[in-house]
Amino acid sequence: MLQSQIVKQRTLKHAVKATGITVHSGERAAIELCPAPASTGVIFRVNVNGKITEIPARSEFVGDTRLSTTLVRGDAKISTVEHLLSAVSGLGIDNLYIDVNSGEVPIMDGSAAPFVFLIQSAGIEEQNASKRFIRIKKRVEVKVGDKIASIEPHNGFKVTCEIVYDQKVIKRTKQRETLDFSTTSFVKEISRARTFGLLSEYEQIRSMNLARGASLDNAVVVDDFRVLNEDGLRYSNEFVRHKILDAVGDLFLMGGNILGAFEGYKSGHAVNDQLVKAVLADRSAWEYVTFDEEAEAPVVMFRSLVAA
């Protein structure tokens, strides 16, 4: 019997917890991912001394983009949300409560893989409501100094990033990469890419009393000659793949999964945030769409839970 299948919203089957070190304050923090009703969106519930503030994972709450993406509401804030949101976006989760007892999401191993694992262990549940995509209708581009980020219409979700490092070790790797979600798996190709830094920058950041939790356990660190991590790289061009991972997380702050093609040249959280804000500010640049027949949906990874 044929039954018409809509692309449905997704949440978790069960709540799931994790603890880990936060990269900036260097403290131990706990997060709990909890199922949320249809059309809730993704909401951080930040517990500071017993007072809980709900901060939706949306662009209007982005407060600081210097070292990571930070969401702010009143006197509550939550930093380093981008890798967790990248996992949420990559697995097509629409509705989720994220309970945190700290001002920062634990850095885990510096990639999105531990969050992917958490979500997959909790199980993904389809909800009885149509999934709402944000479809890009026209090209929007922003420049910040020599950094460029753009998005344009595309029947699917595609992310291209280019990094330009003169640094010897990074220069040896392919510095431009594209992930097309219709053909490539986020989980396999992107989610394991770790954040990275140069040893010299790392020492400077540490002297500013930032990144107190940073170590070779949660970042790829390179000096002038080599990758300092014992096991080397997880992908031959892990550096640019991590930029794609960050962009997937930052773009989710538009309010959900996007249909469009993003391109970032030397992009980072600040320029990604400006792009998201520029798109949202231009009401003719985007629209909400739903798919009432599963076969119509252009993004293969969202068609079936088996694929997740």
Residues assigned a catalytic role: 269
Closer to Zn ion by CB, 150 or 195: give it.
195
CA distances from 265 to 25, 64, 140, 201 (A): 30, 21, 14, 21
Q: How far is CA 208 from the centre of its chain?
A: 26
Closer CB to Zn ion, 246 or 263, in the complex? 246
* Closest distance to Zn ion from the beta carbon of 96 (Å): 20
Edge-to-edge strands, sheet with 51-56: 16-21, 28-35, 96-100, 42-48, 51-56
Least distance in angstroms from the C-beta of 162 to Zn ion: 16
Least distance to Zn ion from the beta carbon of 231, Å?
A: 19
Residues 292, 30: Cα–Cα separation, whole Å = 38
State the alpha helices, DSSP H only, in the chain: 82-90, 113-122, 168-171, 186-189, 199-207, 238-251, 269-281
CB of 290 to Zn ion, least distance (A): 31
- The nearer residue to Zn ion, 84 or 259, going by C-beta atoms, is 84
CA distance 143 to 156: 24
Residue 32 CB partners (closer than 8 Å, separation 6+) = 15, 16, 17, 18, 98, 99
CA 153 to each of CA 128, 136, 263: distance values in angstroms, whole numbers, following the listed order: 28, 5, 12
Separation between Cα atoms, residue 235 and residue 231, nearest integer Å: 11
Please state the closest distance from residue 171 (CB atom) to Zn ion, in A: 20
Residues contributing to the site for Zn ion (CB under 5 A)? 195, 246
CB closer to Zn ion out of 177 and 246: 246
Using CA atoms, how far apart are residues 42 and 85, in angstroms rounded to an integer? 9
Q: Do residues 308 and 123 lie in contact, with contact meaning Cβ atoms separated by under 8 Å?
A: no
C-alpha–C-alpha distance, residues 256 and 277, integer Å: 14
| 94 versus 246: smaller Cβ distance to Zn ion | 246
| Whole-angstrom distance, CA of residue 100 vs CA of residue 51 | 11
Shortest distance in whole angstroms from residue 242 CB to Zn ion: 6
Nearer to Zn ion, 195 or 272 (CB): 195
Q: How far apart are CA 77 and CA 258, in angstroms?
A: 25
Determine the distance from the C-alpha atom of residue 15 to the mean position of all C-alpha atoms in its chain, rounded to a whole number.
20
